[in-house]
Structure 1
Amino acid sequence: MISRIAQQTLQELARTFKVVALTGPRQSGKTTLARYYFQDKRYVSLENPDEQAFALNDPRGFLKQFPDGAILDEVQRVPHLFSYIQQIVDEDSRKALFVLSGSNNFLLQQSITQSLAGRVGYLELLPFCYDEITSIPDSNYSTDDFLFLGGYPSIIYEQANPQLWFSAYVRTYIERDVRQLKNIKDLAQFQRFLYLCAGRIGQQINFSQLGNEIGADHNTVSSWLSILQASYVIHLVQPYYQNFNKRIVKTPKLYFYDTGLACFLLGIRQAGDLTYHAYRGALFENLVINELLKNRFNRSQLSNLYYFRDSTGNEVDVIIDEGSTLKAIELKAGSTASGSFFKNLYYWQRLTGQTNGTVLYDGHIDTLDQGEFTLQNWRVVRSL
């Protein structure tokens, strides 16, 4: 097993809360991490028809099997089980009695909020981050390799064929998870929608345009985007806006939680195809934003990432809100630095008075101070 950076946070949650909820995409390593850390607990998958039927028909009898608690995987499939878990943990002083795992964030959060609020510590586990991948022997990947392969353990650690694995992943996701979240009659139309989203990485969401391309209305597009978010396929980066005395864009940008999946949906069949690919810049931006997000999630912290854009086209790729300060970051897929890399940071500085700006690029310089700003290779993103 590859050591997960989030394990330290998991230990802290287990010492603090009676219930630990481990969420994230399918196949991101949640079950492996839970079973490794909580080796003394029984593991039950509620995707197993027999276990699911037992929990549905006799929840008290089902939970009585686990006097010392258990790992309950895909527990959102039996939502009324949460009320019975609440009664058990309220009468027991032990910490981390139950570990709840699921890949459907919306249904899991909904069930927890209704029955277990205040008793649960959350950890969102995404696919491998850069540091976890590079800890694997012989993982000397280029940037294009990172973009193409993504971070799913089956591909990185078990070296599964990306095309075969992602093909099965998409099919399973469409046929199982989407049906669970919403009874969509035309699954082929939803699948087309998923592919269209891959072509909009790093772009502001245009609901009308997306709807026109699949023959759906604004509400349907909004609903389907929510499904993709709840099942950890995409995430949205919200715009940062204050009273800057300008018209500020207030539409979120779309990104995928895994660039490997995005490459598959874009029809990219090998890492070498990315060298001159039109989407390389957008995928690079997606990769670095994911690394920033993983740094937060691995510490059980919410995202503090935004972007800035005004009506005249001035834009900063990432704004990190640190409370008292804002950190501006520009993302450049090129490997040769130029003065134009810093143009938007200077604009941000004039607008806000904030001076701590960084350019992350694909060049060979780890860190270089460029006057008021810093130029860094994207691989040191964990230090931000």
Structure 2
Amino acid sequence: MYYSRSLKDVWLSASKHFPVLLLTGSRQVGKTTFLKHICPAGRTYVTLDDPSTRALAQEDGGLFMKRFTPPILIDEIQYAPNLLPYIKMEADSSSKKGQFWLTGSQQFLMMKGISETLAGRVAIINLLGFSQRERERSNLDIEPFISEKKNLTARLSFAKKPSLKKMYKNIWLGSFPALIAGAAKNRELYYSSYLQTYLQRDVRDLAQVGNERAFIKFIRACAARTGQLLNLADLAKDTDISIPTAKNWLSILMASFQIFLLQPYHNNITKRLIKTPKLYFLDTGLCSYLTEWNSPQTLEAGAMSGAIFETWVFSEILKSYWHRGLEPLIYYYRDKDKKEIDFIIEANQKLYPIEVKKSTTIKKEWGREFSVLSKFKKGTGKGIVICMAEKMLPLDDKNDAVPVTIL
């Protein structure tokens, strides 16, 4: 069964304006399935996962381009970055748009030596696993999430009564299409195989990490810290590696879309702000697997329950932008007085504060720390607390509690 993606219209529109389009995202999030589904007749498909095709691309880019002519879909371009200058020449020699559709399992800007090769010629779009909208196959055209009245009103029109049981089942299962669509029946076997593929193709082949056992220990340590401030020294100590190695391995996880480092919001007005990023896993199912929660029930009742709930909310907000071809200005806030706001979205010359609470009971003190944003020059937009409430309820004259099902 095919699940439609929010990205469809954005991708097809970009294909009319750019000669090259690159779809990036972690392995098995549905990049190839999506592009093949919307691909018009006459476009050649070639994958660099095939050893002989990859060898040709790596050893003789010119011959490769003569053998596989545009319009073309090239899968897993990270295996042959040397093809990009040839793609650039082809793009420059023709006025046709959308001639090259590329996919990659690594962030384009982190591919060594090629970040500027296609500057001005390529549209780079990120894809993660299914969003909640895609999972439910409804309201795929909803605008990216922001806590302003029009957006919230549109989302409240389809928001269902939250179910803690269903919420944690979704969080525990994760967002990979094979698990949701039913192609993979056994969750544990799926994630075990996923890790082996990831280790072999991204960690060993591309990043040349030699100590795979230590790397698995490192990725597990990162998963256990989702939603927390990044502490490289702590990660290195727990994994018995050096801090430089921990920094390098963290960049590998970022480049392959396993984690996201959320930067703090700050400017030059105050020096009392924490400037350390927060670490978030991008798939809560993989995160739960790595931290060995063997059921949705144990996950919901366990020590990571709040952090994994916050992680899921963050990934949904991020998907609402990435799956519309947009890059959000999203941060967190924390100062040395320990005042903290989970997320801040910067838009329309305003700062929109968002807190996340895994609670059905509304508390009067929720949202009080949003007032710390008044010291910044930008205006403060509507603040919200995303929680398990059944409907939107006011916290005060400016801030509201909203059900998590608006995502």
Report the TM range for the smaller structure's normalisation: over 0.9
Q: Which residue of 2 aligns with 1:72?
A: 74
Q: Report what 2:219 is aligned to.
A: 194
Secondary structure, counterpart of 1:317 in structure 2: strand
SS in 2 for 1:94: coil
1:182-226 deviations in Å (ceiling 9; x for gaps) = 222211001100000011111111111111112222211111110
Aligned equivalent of 1:280, options 277, 297, 305: 305
Tell me which residue corresponds to 2:169.
145
Distance in 2 (CA, whole Å) between partners of 1:146 and 1:196 is 22
Instruction: Provide, for residues 252-287 of structure 1, a one-character-per-residue CA deviation record: whole Å limited to 9, x for no partner.
Output: 000011001001011011112223111111011111
Go from structure 1 to structure 2 and tell me whether the alpha carbon gap of 1:170 and 1:67 turns closer, same or farther (over 3 Å shift): closer
Q: Partners of 2:277 and 2:224 in 1: how far apart?
A: 15
Partner of 1:142, secondary structure, is helix
The match for 2:133 is 131
Q: 1:271 to 1:159 in 2, by over 3 A?
A: farther
Counterpart pick for 2:210 among 162, 165, 185: 185
- Paired AA for residue 201 in structure 1: T
CA deviation after TM superposition for structure 1 residue 120, in Å: 0.4
Structure 1's consecutive aligned runs of 4 or more residues displaced over 6 angstroms after TM superposition are: 350-353
Aligned length: 379
Q: CA deviation at 1:11?
A: 1.1
Q: Secondary structure at the match of 2:306?
A: helix
Deviations 1:333-384 (A, max 9, x none): 1122111322322444577762521111022114656422011112213xxx
1:155 has 2:186 as partner: no
Query: For residue 18 of structure 1, what is the aligned residue in structure 2?
Result: 19
1:35 alignment counterpart: 36
Structure 2 residue corresponding to 1:300, chosen from 325, 331, 342: 325
User: Equivalent of 1:333, from 358, 365, 370?
Assistant: 358
Alignment of 1:1-384 (within 5 A): 1-40=2-41, 41-106=43-108, 109-110=111-112, 112-135=114-137, 142-158=166-182, 160=184, 161-245=186-270, 247-349=272-374, 354=380, 356-366=382-392, 368=394, 370-381=396-407
CA contact (8 A) 2:21 2:122 kept: yes
1:170 and 1:306 map into 2 onto residues whose CA distance is 29
Name the CA distance, whole Å, in 1 between partners of 2:93 and 2:54.
25
Question: RMSD value over aligned CA atoms?
Answer: 2.1
TM-score by length of 1: 0.93
The sequence identity of aligned pairs, in percent, is 34
Gaps of 5+ in 2: 139-163
The verdict on how the C-alpha distance between 1:361 and 1:349 changes in structure 2, with shifts beyond 3 A counting, is farther
Q: Partner letter of residue 54 of structure 2?
A: Q
Alignment check: 8 A CA contact 1:330 1:345 kept = no
**Which one-letter code corresponds to 1:93 in the other structure?**
S
Q: Judge conservation of contact 2:321–2:327 (CA < 8 Å) in 1.
A: yes
Partners of 2:381 and 2:52 lie apart in 1 by 59
Question: 3-state SS of the aligned residue for 2:314?
Answer: helix
How far apart, in 1, do the equivalents of 2:374 and 2:231 lie?
29
Amino acid paired to 1:289: F
Query: Matched residue of 1:340: which SS?
Result: coil
2 CA distance for matches of 1:177 and 1:317? 31
Query: Aligned AA for 2:352?
Result: K
Q: What is the distance in 2 between the residues matched to 1:146 and 1:73?
A: 29
* Corresponding residue SS for 1:333: coil
* 1:24/1:126 contact within 8 Å kept: yes
Q: Provide the TM-score with structure 2 as the length reference.
A: 0.88
Give 5+ residue unaligned stretches, structure 1.
Answer: none
